[in-house]
Structures are given as C-alpha cells and as structure tokens.
Amino acid sequence: MKINFREAKSIITKSNIPSVDFVINPYTGCQHRCIYCYAEFMIRFTGHKGEKWGEFLDIKKYDFDKIKPRKYNGKTLLLSSVTDPYLPLEKKYQNTRKILEKLVETEAELSILTKSKLVTRDIDLFQQYKNIKVGISISTLNDSFAKTIERGASKPSDRISALKEISEAGIDTYTFISPYFPEITDFKELITQTKEFTHEYMFENLNFRPHNVPRILQVIKENFPQHLPVYEELRKDRSYWESVEVAIRDFCKKEKLEYKIEFHHGGFSKT
C-alpha cells in the first residue's frame, strides 16, 4: 500500500447522490479492495492514473478547524461515499475521528456507512450528535466469500456485532444489504440476524461496470460455478432483479420493517 499525504481543498463536498446533500471522504483510495467497487473511477480524478485501486491511500491533510458544523443544519451528510471512514489506517491517522469531533454541534442528518468494526471506537462521539444514524453494509454471512469479495473489510460477524454494540449505546442504526449477489445473498437470514438492533434496512443490487465484470464473473466461477449462468443471463434479462425486489418487499412487509430498495434496474451500466 502506497501512502501519500495530500492537501485537500475541502473535506465536505456537495453530493450528486439522490437524497444526500454532502459527502465526507476522509481518504482518497480504499483498503477494503472490494471486487465490485464502484468508486474506482476516482483513480482518474485524483492523479492516480495507472495505479490500482486498493494499492494506494491518500491521507487528506486539512485544517479541520475550518469545518463549520452549523453550516449543514437541515442537510443530509454521508460519511463516506467513495472510501470507508473506518479503514485499518484510520486507527493511525484518525481523519474520520477528527472530522466527527468538529461536526458534533451540527443539526444535519449524519449517516455513517462502513464495513469495519473499528466504527465502535467512535461511539462516544456518536452519542453527542442530535441526528445521526450508523450503518454497516453487508452482502453475505459467509466469512470466506466475504474475504474474497471485500478483501480488507471486517468479517460479517464482526460488522454485525459492531452494529449491535452501537444500537445498545442508544444510536440509530441501519443495515445496508449491498451489494445483493444473485443466488448468494441470503437477505432473510441477514435480517433475522440483525433485526433486533437495526432500525432501518436498505437494499442495493450488484451493479456491473466494465471494470468489474471480469472480476465478478471469475469469482463466481471459482466459488459458485452453479450460479454462473444466472450472472451471465443478467446481461440480457433484467427480470431477475424485479423478482428479488418483490421478494424483499413481501418479506419486509410481513416483518413490519422500515426499508428502502435502491435497485438500479438492469444492474449493468456502460458508464
């Protein structure tokens, strides 16, 4: 992992994600190295052309005193969108913690999203916020498959334990079942194992992009060859996702859960 220190012009930036006003990315790059990562396009915009996602990390250097918490009142903030706020190197550099310390007085709705158990370190700060929710994203309960698809992230069971601890500390939580891997993601079991301490569920399907298709198909071929035809068929027939949505909706209604489905139809994009 190549570590760089780079001055950042800003640390809280306007978002083009629907329903999110600002995003906060304490680092450029990501140590989790998910095979499906949608943030790899950042390579082009951050001076890392020719490098591989997951092999560099820029520690943003910023005067955190410039953060004005009240400026975001009434807005929605997401930490993070193109990295994970609780990367292993966050332990050492603490950019996320420094940002959270400065934002405490905000009345914005702050959403934290991670795949790391390190998130529990900041419970003391979360408890000082008026409007915060903390979520984990998770695709599978299978440790070995998780290690294959999200190489640097915490084990699924550790993510779930972290969420439980956060909820027990009195903080609103959500479970983001994402990305949904056809035939592999057992969303009912994920819900069963998290519903006692999850206030809201969100679902997102696996999105294929030109850069991730070969990696995903290779991993499915090696680990679940019996499901390969389904993945290949998804290129032509989008109805699979509709049937998954119906199943999720029916289950969530039956269980009386708060939920949002954010499936991108088709699951393929040329962009």
* Binding site residues, ligand SF4, CB under 6 A: 30, 32-34, 37, 39, 82-84, 115
Q: Shortest approach of ligand SF4 to residue 32 CB, angstroms? A: 4
What is the DSSP track for 40-95? Answer: TTHHHHTT-TTSPTTSEEEEEE--GGG--GGGGTT-EEEE-SSS-TT-TTHHHH-H
CB of 248 to ligand SF4, least distance (A): 21
Give 139 or 193: the residue with its C-beta nearer to ligand SF4: 139
The CA radius of gyration of the chain, in Å to the nearest whole number, is 18
State the minimum distance, in angstroms, from the CB of residue 212 to ligand SF4. 10
Which phi and psi angles does 79 have, rounded to 5°?
-120, 100
Give 98 or 215: the residue with its C-beta nearer to ligand SF4.
215
Helices (H), the chain: 42-45, 90-93, 95-103, 123-126, 143-149, 156-168, 187-194, 213-223, 228-233, 239-255
Residue 19 CB, nearest approach to ligand SF4 (Å): 18
**Closer CB to ligand SF4, residue 84 or residue 252?**
84
Residue type, 127: Q
**CB-nearer residue toward ligand SF4: 133 or 159:** 159
Comparing CB distances to ligand SF4, the nearer of 114 and 193 is 114
CB of 243 to ligand SF4, least distance (A): 25
